[in-house]
Amino acid sequence: MVVGGGPGGSTLSTLVALQGYRVLLLEKEEFPRHQIGESLLPSTVHGICRLLGVTDELANSGFMKKHGGTFRWGLNAEPWTFDFSVSEKFSGPTSYAYQVERMKFDKILLDNARSKGVDVRERSEVVGVLEEEGRICGVRYDDAEGVRREVRARFVADASGNKSRIHKRIGGARKYSDVFQNIALFGYFTGGRRAPAPWTGNITCASFDLGWFWYIPLSDELTSVGAVLRREALARLQDGPRDKVLEGLIDECPLIADYLSEAERVTEGPYGQVRVRKDYSYIQENFWRPGMVLVGDAACFIDPLFSSGVHLSTYSALLAARSINTTLRGAIDEAYCFREYETRYRREYDVFHDFLVAFYDLQKDEHAYFRKAKSVIGSSAPAAESFAELVGGGASNEEALIGTAPSVSQERRADLLERSRKIHWQGSRVQVQALFGESVGDAPLYEGGLVESPDGMHWAHPEQPAS
């Protein structure tokens, strides 16, 4: 059973239900509900969402296409833009993501889970877990009528986000980052400026003295605007009503002030409030214990600058689904399956963490950032391409996250083959196979580790791949 119906919970429950297992999902709210995290990555849109079967629905939902991002960041006083399509992994038909109203996006994923056989119950708040002989075996929850109930399950997945009530039952502490300790103040505007095509839907991130701003075009009219303030600047939040504080901060960031010069803040409906969200980064000491696993923000959260939250949440859901499906099939012991889950999820988190540490150094220009991206993911591709690959969610080299095989040059082919030989790039073997129809064998990520099965929904021992 799954706690929480955000992108992590919906993805996990769908990918397990599609294997024919019974899945119960308990969600505290009634959807649609507001959530922040509106800028997606190509890996989510063309990888995970394709696996879930919602590609056409997303395409028909009128979401703004995001071809890349624009930064006013570092030593360059002028805004600079990156384009997902420079990465061969995202070139061609998969070279964009969407900017989404989470109220709509999360409901599409949750309704899709329901239509794929998941028993989804909204207005059902989990208040605790059940434990027997050291194993988590179910949860206690208040149903939509307020009646307290208990339900038993072979696995409990906590996908209830950063405010999870039950993550502590996994054991170990939630470790907060010393580096990323920000607070976000955000609201919604109509009439904000749009960049010319093809950059109309780009996210813009602009640094200013107290932190940085995001500017996310959600439609032709609606824009999500947030100030992310460093811990030292938190006193500014006490300066007056939130809307006035946000106004004052916008005036201190010339690029955003210019984009909003003819805009008005939305003051009614679900977008009418100026909200505050603490976005301190953290990572849980343990990601699983017998009978229970943490997915998405329940396990870890990294600073929102690269819009990686929904990517990490849905990618971890795919990894957790493989672990649960394999254990339920009785093919491989639970401990092996979840060690694989934890190793891969931590690796993806670390990629963003390590790169963000370097990116927050404003005494560099974009070329230095691109070179850093190349070194963090260990790529021999050109630096700008490595940057687009990393921030597009393609660093893990998981074919499942790339969606459609792009056309790849001969040189790139040689590079991918070379990288696939290194144990670190296990995922690229699968990618190379998919791209060239050529078997290059498979290798685990670490000694004793597992590989993904050909159907992509289970784990297998490297020497005897499961069907």
- In degrees, rounded to 5, the angle at the alpha carbon of residue 183 between the alpha carbons of residues 239 and 29 is 110
Instruction: Give the CA dihedral 223, 296, 206, 68, nearest 10 degrees.
Output: -70
Phi/psi for 55 (5° steps) reads -55, -50
Q: Helix 309-329 vs helix 7-17: angle between axes, to the nearest 10 degrees? A: 30
Site string for ligand FAD, 278-297 (x = CB under 6 A): -x----------------xx
Element (H, E) at 322: helix 309-329
52-73 b/e (C-beta count within 10 Å ≥ 16 → b): bebeeebeeeebbbbbbbbbbb
Q: Does 394 bind ligand FAD (CB under 6 A)?
A: no
Q: Smallest gap, in angstroms, from Cβ of residue 85 to ligand FAD? A: 20
Phi/psi for 358 (5° steps) reads -70, -35
Provide the token pair at 265: 């803040």
Segment interacting with ligand FAD, rule: CB under 6 A, options 4-12, 63-71, 257-265, 421-429: 4-12
Map the footprint of ligand FAD across residues 301-320, applying CB under 6 A: 304, 307, 309-311, 313
- In degrees, rounded to 5, the angle at the alpha carbon of residue 392 between the alpha carbons of residues 397 and 362 is 120
Strand partners of residue 64 = 99
Residue from the set 12, 52, 109, 184 that interacts with ligand FAD by CB under 6 A: 184
Return the number of the residue (39 or 325) whose C-beta is nearest ligand FAD. Answer: 39
Residue from the set 12, 17, 18, 35 that interacts with ligand FAD by CB under 6 A: 35
Residue from the set 12, 17, 23, 39 that interacts with ligand FAD by CB under 6 A: 39
Q: Smallest gap, in angstroms, from Cβ of residue 166 to ligand FAD? A: 7
Map the footprint of ligand FAD across residues 108-147, applying CB under 6 A: 125-126
Return the number of the residue (113 or 460) whose C-beta is nearest ligand FAD. Answer: 113
Segment interacting with ligand FAD, rule: CB under 6 A, options 24-32, 54-62, 146-154, 415-423: 24-32
Phi/psi for 59 (5° steps) reads -60, -30
d(CA 300, CA 319): 15
Phi/psi for 403 (5° steps) reads 85, -85
Q: Does 42 bind ligand FAD (CB under 6 A)?
A: no
Site string for ligand FAD, 72-101 (x = CB under 6 A): ------------------------------
Number of residues near ligand FAD (by CB under 6 A)? 36
Chain residues binding ligand FAD by CB under 6 A are 3-9, 26-29, 35-40, 125-126, 159-161, 163, 165, 184, 226, 277, 279, 296-297, 304, 307, 309-311, 313
